[in-house]
Amino acid sequence: MTSPPRATSHVVVLVGRGPYGDPWHDHAGTSDVIAQVLRADGHDVTVRSTFPDALDDVTPDLLVVNAGAGPETGEDHTRLHDRRDALVRAGTAVLAVHQAANTFGDDPRWAATIGGRWVEGTSWHPPIGPVTFTVHDHPATTGLEVVVTHDERYCDLVVDDDVRVLLTTDVEGTTQPIAWTHGERVLYDALGHDVRAYGPARCELLRREAAWLRRD
């Protein structure tokens, strides 16, 4: 297996906290793994929590969103959402992972950006465990045949028709999209429930996704 070449870019990893965190996900731990993987590829990585001013002083080449939905705190995050949306419109690439399909529910622009959403009462997942994901043809997955890891399998996400699917899994006789691109600068990847999920195959996929988004 040939890995993508190393190249330097500025990456910001946005970590869920407050209304974008919950007791079931270790966003800090998984974000640390993501940062380590990307730093090993030579990227300059900054890790920020989802405070309203988290993106005020940065203009990254790639924004990784590793956040979720939690209890409401009453904190106004309009400033964060406006800045994030401005970065996307200006050309910042976006890699949204795992629970990011269920984050920023207070800003409909986010679901429009990533091309899909977890919908309460519709979306679900079987118990976490060993799983093999099927890889589909895409420049970000070239050289990968399957991805084997220990993770959740998100099912019945509401997904836009114009996405290009990278990974799928079969659950109860139905093929579920697990990772996809939305346009040329946005990629959603549902893998990464916990640190254990970031095994070698998953980390290699992460590296390739970042390289494709950065066109390295």
Global confidence as pTM: 0.94
Where is 147: in which H helix or E strand?
A: strand 146-151
Residue 72 has pLDDT above 80, yes or no: no
Residue 216 has pLDDT above 70, yes or no: no
Tally: H helices and E strands in the chain: 4, 11
Of 41-45, 67-71, 125-129, 171-175, where does mean pLDDT reach its minimum? Answer: 67-71
Tokens 């203009």 belong to 59
Of 16-30, 52-66, 156-170, where does mean pLDDT reach its minimum? Answer: 16-30
Q: Say which CATH class 10-214 falls into.
A: alpha beta
Strand extents, DSSP E, 16-142: 44-49, 62-66, 93-97, 116-117, 129-135
Q: What is the pLDDT of residue 8?
A: 73
C-beta atoms surrounding 157 within 10 Å:
22
Q: Any residues with CB less than 8 A from the CB of 89 and at least 6 apart, and which? A: none
Instruction: Evaluate whether 99 touches 157 at the Cβ level (below 8 Å).
Output: no
pLDDT in tens, 151-199: 999 999 999 999 999 999 999 999 999 999 999 999 999 999 999 999 9
Beta bridge partners of 3: none
Task: State the average pLDDT over residues 1-12.
Answer: 68
Q: How many residues does the structure list for the chain?
A: 216
Q: Where are the domains of the chain?
A: 10-214
pLDDT in tens, 114-142: 999 999 999 999 999 999 999 999 999 99
pLDDT in tens, 97-119: 999 999 999 999 999 999 999 99
Query: Two tokens at 5?
Result: 């070449």
Residue 80's nearest CA partner among 101, 98, 57, 114 is 57
